[in-house]
């Protein structure tokens, strides 16, 4: 009887372990924000050193756990690379000549990725999602400095679970922040002086 009890306990332990592992899932999203800005020659071919830093503690965008079910979401690619490319494209559209990672503390634009998160709540058969992001842009131009934190958040309620992990909503949120950066008159003024 003691042997049967130990065997049953082992079986239950293994079953619980398999169920908990089987209900864990990691998702990767492809972040590719758009640049909602118009071409301009405001930059007058001024070269600018561009730096992008990821100040987040991890690449995780979301974590969710309910009972035995849990998931996590992260970016498929390095966000520094994604934002570096997008910021280069944006600066070029505005007429600047971006130089990535070239040391020029006298004329530079540094962008810090501070926060990108998604939060999910389940309301069977639907779900709610809240997406938030923050970036900080700092311009240095021959002693003049301008720094500002840009943020955006979007919330959708009652969406079908089939849209999970809502890559489009994350990209729309990041696109909104890029638009804020490239239309900030004080930042542009710092870059062109």
pLDDT at position 21: 43
191, with CB counted inside 10 A (0-12, 13-18, 19+), is buried
pLDDT at position 191: 95
pLDDT at position 5: 61
| C-alpha to C-alpha distance for 131 and 35, rounded to whole angstroms | 19
- Of 60, 69, 66, 62, residue with least CA distance to 21: 69
Q: Is the dihedral of CA 41, 140, 147, 99 positive or negative?
A: positive
pLDDT at position 11: 53
pLDDT at position 91: 96
**Are 37 and 182 in contact, with CB atoms under 8 Å apart?**
yes
pLDDT at position 161: 75
pLDDT at position 155: 93
Q: What is the pLDDT of residues 10-38, one digit of tens each?
A: 655 554 444 444 446 888 888 999 998 89
pLDDT at position 185: 96
pLDDT under 50 in the chain at which residues? 15-23
pLDDT at position 18: 41
């Amino acid at each position: 009887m003691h042997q049967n009890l130990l065997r049953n306990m082992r079986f239950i332990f293994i079953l619980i372990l398999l169920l908990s592992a089987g209900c864990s899932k990691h998702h990767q999203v492809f972040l590719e924000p758009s640049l909602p800005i118009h071409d301009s020659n405001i930059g007058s071919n001024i070269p600018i050193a561009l730096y992008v830093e990821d100040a987040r503690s991890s690449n995780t965008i979301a974590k969710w756990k309910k009972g035995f079910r849990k998931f996590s979401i992260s970016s498929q690619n390095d966000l520094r690379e994604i934002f570096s490319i997008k910021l280069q494209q944006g600066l070029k559209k505005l007429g600047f000549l971006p130089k990535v990672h070239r040391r020029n503390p006298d004329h530079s634009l540094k962008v810090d990725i501070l926060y990108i998160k998604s939060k999910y709540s389940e309301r069977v058969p639907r779900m709610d999602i809240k997406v938030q992001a923050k970036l900080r842009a700092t311009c240095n131009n021959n002693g003049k400095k301008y720094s500002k934190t840009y943020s955006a958040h979007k919330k959708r309620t009652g969406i079908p679970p089939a849209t999970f992990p809502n890559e489009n909503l994350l990209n729309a949120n990041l696109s909104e922040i890029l638009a804020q950066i490239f239309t900030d008159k004080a930042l542009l003024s710092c870059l062109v002086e």
